[in-house]
Amino acid sequence: MASVPVLAACGSGADGADTLTVFAAASLKAPFTELAERFEDANPGVTVELSFTGSSDLVAQLEQGAPGDVLATADTRTMDAAVAAGLVAGEPASFATNTLTIVTEPGNPKNIRMFADLTAEGISVVVCAPQVPCGAATTRLEEATGVDIVPVSEESAVTDVLGKVTSGQADAGLVYVTDAVGAGDAVTAVAVPQAAEIVNVYLVAALENSQSSGRAGDFVRFVTGANGRAVLDEAGFGAP
């Protein structure tokens, strides 16, 4: 069974089993947990350990020396930063896309119908911080619509935005379509037509300092292959 989260060293453990440490964007938690389990089933003796948080935080952890084998980010900007820092081995591969949507409390009690409604008096909105991929996409959406949101908080991961809405701490939030799908009846989704033009491309790559470079490459191919596509499709991710 894949474990979440961990920042342990990678490579062969004392029992001889191979351990693969995967750093992945928070929005990938559900599909990557399933993919890790499938990868373990296909590779007896291999354990996949997963660490999820905002993409920019993942890169910062790796820059500070956290050991890992694979990195999956929610946009090209953060993967480019990892490449520029010399963290990545080889060329990153795109494997999924995602767009933003509004989520509200179940039933949409504040009657939010469009992006501009997020600026209405008495509506508390939470978004991702600008340095996070979902926050960068939010900024682009504001520019596309000409609407400036004044959020009550800016979160470091899209899952934290979702959590603020599902817990009743905010009336609405901007999350990925996949987060809304995964939340089910815990939220009501309100589509934003302009969001269709603001697409985040997800990339995955083996890490330069991986102690299991062969396994890391295998996992990257697993994610970008038929297994990955099937799981990502089911979770609502678009094709790259």
pLDDT (0 to 100) of residue 5: 40
For residue 66, tell me if it sits in a domain. yes
**Are 105 and 220 part of one and the same domain?**
no
Number of domains comprising the chain = 2
**Are 84 and 116 part of one and the same domain?**
no
**Are 89 and 61 part of one and the same domain?**
yes
pLDDT in tens, the chain (240 residues): 454 443 333 454 433 358 999 999 999 999 999 999 999 999 999 999 999 999 999 999 999 999 999 999 999 999 999 999 999 999 999 999 999 999 999 999 999 999 999 999 999 999 999 999 999 999 999 999 999 999 999 999 999 999 999 999 999 999 999 999 999 999 999 999 999 999 999 999 999 999 998 999 999 999 999 999 999 999 999 999
For residue 117, tell me if it sits in a domain. yes
For residue 189, give the CATH number of its domain: 3.40.190.10
Question: Looking at this protein, which amino acid is placed at residue 131?
Answer: Q
For residue 5, tell me if it sits in a domain. no
CA distances from 7 to 52, 63, 93, 126, 223 (A): 10, 13, 23, 29, 21
| Cα-to-chain-centroid distance, residue 60 | 15
Q: Which domain holds residue 160?
A: 100-197
For residue 1, tell me if it sits in a domain. no
With contact defined as beta carbons under 8 Å apart, do 93 and 204 qualify? yes
| Spatial CB neighbours of 118, under 8 Å, sequence gap ≥ 6 | 102, 112, 125, 147, 149, 172
**Are 182 and 159 part of one and the same domain?**
yes
**Are 144 and 78 part of one and the same domain?**
no
For residue 87, tell me if it sits in a domain. yes
| pTM for this entry | 0.88
For residue 169, tell me if it sits in a domain. yes
For residue 240, tell me if it sits in a domain. no
**Are 85 and 104 part of one and the same domain?**
no
pLDDT (0 to 100) of residue 6: 37
pLDDT (0 to 100) of residue 17: 52
